[in-house]
Amino acid sequence: MDTINAGDTAWVLGSAGLVLLMTPGLALFYGGMVRAKSVLNMMMMSFIALGTVTLAWVLWGYGESFGTSLDGLGLVGNPVGHIGLSDLLSADAVMGPPGHQIPTLAFAAFQATFAIIAVALVSGAIADRAKFSTWTVFTVLWATIVYFPVAHWVFDFSTPTHAGGWIASNLKAIDFAGGTVLEINCGAAGLALALVVGKRLGFRKDPMRPHNLTLVMLGAGLLWFGWFGFNAGSMLAATGGTAIVWMNTLVAGAAGMMAWLGVERVRDGHATSLGAASGLVAGLVAITPSCSAVTPVGAIAIGGIAGALCAYAVAWKFRYGYDDSLDVVGVHLVGGLVGTIGIGFFASKAAPAGVDGLLAGGGVDQLWRQVVAAVAVLAFSFVLTGALGLALHRTLGFRVDRDDEMRGVDLSEHLETAYDLVARGGRLGVGSAAQHLPDARHHDGHVPSSALDALTTPPQGDLA
Amino acid sequence: MKLITAIIKPHQLEPVKEALEAFGVQGMTVSEASGYGRQRGHSEVYRGAEYQIDFVPKVRIEILAEAEDTEAIVDLIAITARTGRIGDGKIWVVPVEDVVRVRTGDHGRGAL
């Protein structure tokens, strides 16, 4: 026990709290971007991951991600190796290099918050139209089949006594905080799921402008704040290298925002608030894998390229006709690829990872490793998510019916309305609504439209 | 008695209200409205995707007045709400059969 470094442990536990805040932040970021009739559902798709993924993580997810590799293949950890994390409660359960040891349980807590937000990220691709029950099942199965194994590939390093993942230990691609595990993985999953679930009614026809950009700005701010835990916390120690990572996280967000706004100003004539929020996230996405491998100047390049490229990539869905509603592909997949592959170009020996990229005279050795890791995660995630999504779509159904989608998934999936701005819908009263509304449900739990009409139709008011 | 309904630009509400008060109008009902006339809305761009916004925010003012005051009130609204730019709005007048003051039950002119 005396081997634990208190400063490092405090930083990792604090970082875990920062990263956890990113999921409610993402809920705001996504929630503001959808229409008013589905903001609660959008936020709940993130919040439910806080519940389901946490439980899965404690029971089998940590084992799948960081347990000893099954057969030493580096593909998936032993899911029954750490059930309930009870083996991590002992004072002997420590990890890290001498002098920087932290409780393994602190690491398990930190990584739990990554798994949660990874699942929540995917939901942006299927806004406004998904059945909440099916999404809830999806969160558990997707984490189990896709996220936990990929986390094992990339984040679990082999030691003399532990067989880790193939990308971390054999390929030796650099992905410091999850450019492949989270960004490329979630982007590819979002694309697959958007294709399975299909386009929103009125896609490319009806205006679907964001209903509350102030929520989007607040969410983007919380994401940036939490991202310092995400990236700098991934050092698992409070060192000089941690400071470099922290600074790169600040710089890339700034560069991403400026680049996106620059593209907008030139292309569309105005710098928009949604562009600022999107650009800073694009920059942060790209610096996630690369924050340990580049200098702040490299972070400007990577964040800037991501901000500019993503500002164009978000238009692809209209050109090619897939309804990735909130641009999980355009921001996270594209930004993740920029950051992951960008390491091969912009890496510098001066950064903690200690590798020179192509532009620093390091040749293509690191570049090809980055490309292989990116393509492997992209393909694995796209294929498995597509298969899982199709299986759920054919059995449980992934999509609400047409009327419910028109009326809004807040009502059909949660029987709630986000905003009661004029307070005119109160005929039933709070107490009576709570008592009587469940009676209006059919035995299958479906709410007949007459009950919903009572909620949505205001009483006829008089003039003056 | 007449009902005067005016659809105006939201930021013109304050000068219109002040002018009406100065004229002696006792009350009015104001509601948020949206719509378009010949100006046909505008377009907004979100993440590079352009949206045509047809319904522009407007304010609707409703005033119950005696017939002889109507023309003056309409002119007053028209003058104070006017910016000279497209989308300034419309005003119309319709006859009113009866008016009731809810508190007292008074009918007709006494209820105005």
Compute the Cα dihedral for A375, A376, A377, A381 and give only its sign.
positive
Residue A298 C-alpha, separation from nearest chain B C-alpha, in angstroms? 26
* Tokens 């719509």, located at residue: B35
Amino acid making up residue B74: V
What pLDDT is recorded for position A450? Answer: 54
Question: What does B84-102 look like in DSSP terms, one character per residue?
Answer: SSTT-EEEEEEE-S--B-T
Question: What does A47-68 look like in DSSP terms, one character per residue?
Answer: HHHHHHHHHHIIIIIHHHHHSP
What pLDDT is recorded for position A245? Answer: 98
The answer to whether A8 faces chain B, any CB pair under 8 Å, is no
Residue A309 C-alpha, separation from nearest chain B C-alpha, in angstroms? 12
Q: How many cross-chain Cβ pairs, A to B, lie less than 8 Å apart?
A: 41
Is the CB of residue A423 less than 8 Å from the CB of residue A143?
Answer: no
For a pLDDT cut of 70, what percent of chain B falls above it?
Answer: 100
Dump strand ranges (E) for A259-300: none
Torsion region of A83: left, alpha or beta (phi above 0 gives left; psi -120 to 50 gives alpha): beta
**Tokens (6 digits) for B95:** 């006859």
A318 → chain B, closest CA residue: B49
Residue A212 C-alpha, separation from nearest chain B C-alpha, in angstroms? 12
The answer to whether A209 faces chain B, any CB pair under 8 Å, is yes
Question: What does A131-194 look like in DSSP terms, one character per residue?
Answer: -HHHHHHHHHHHIIIIIHHHHHHHH---BTTB---HIIIII----SS-IIIIIIHHHHHHHHHH
Domain ranges of chain A: 6-395, 420-456
CATH for the B2-111 domain, from 3.30.70.120, 3.30.70.20, 3.40.50.1820, 3.60.15.10? 3.30.70.120
Go through A323-346 and write b for each residue having 16 or more CB atoms within 10 A of its CB, e for each that does not.
Answer: bbbbbbbbbbbbbbbbbbbbbbbb
Domain ranges of chain B: 2-111
The minimal CB distance from B44 to the residues A209, A327, A464 is found for: A209
What pLDDT is recorded for position B42? Answer: 84
* ipTM of the complex as predicted: 0.74
| Rounded average pLDDT over B49-77 | 93
Q: Do A318 and B27 touch (CB under 8 A)?
A: no
Q: Do A311 and B52 touch (CB under 8 A)?
A: no
Residue A263 C-alpha, separation from nearest chain B C-alpha, in angstroms? 10
Closest CA to A326 of A281, A370, A365, A367: A281
Q: What is the SS3 assignment for A4?
A: strand
Over chain A (464 residues), the average pLDDT of each successive run of 10 is 87 98 98 97 98 98 96 94 95 94 98 98 98 98 98 96 95 97 98 98 87 98 98 98 98 98 96 98 98 98 98 94 96 98 97 96 95 98 98 98 96 94 56 49 52 51 43
Q: Do A278 and B49 touch (CB under 8 A)?
A: no
Nearest-5° Cα angle at A33, A30 to A39: 70
What pLDDT is recorded for position A463? Answer: 43
Q: A6-395 in CATH: which number?
A: 1.10.3430.10
Does residue B110 or residue A262 have the better pLDDT? A262
Q: What is the SS3 assignment for A457?
A: coil
What pLDDT is recorded for position A1? Answer: 47
Contact residues, chain A, for B62 at CB < 8 Å: 463-464
**Tokens (6 digits) for B80:** 């104070």
Give the separation between CA A146 and CA A138, rounded to whole angstroms. 11
* Tokens 């679990």, located at residue: A156
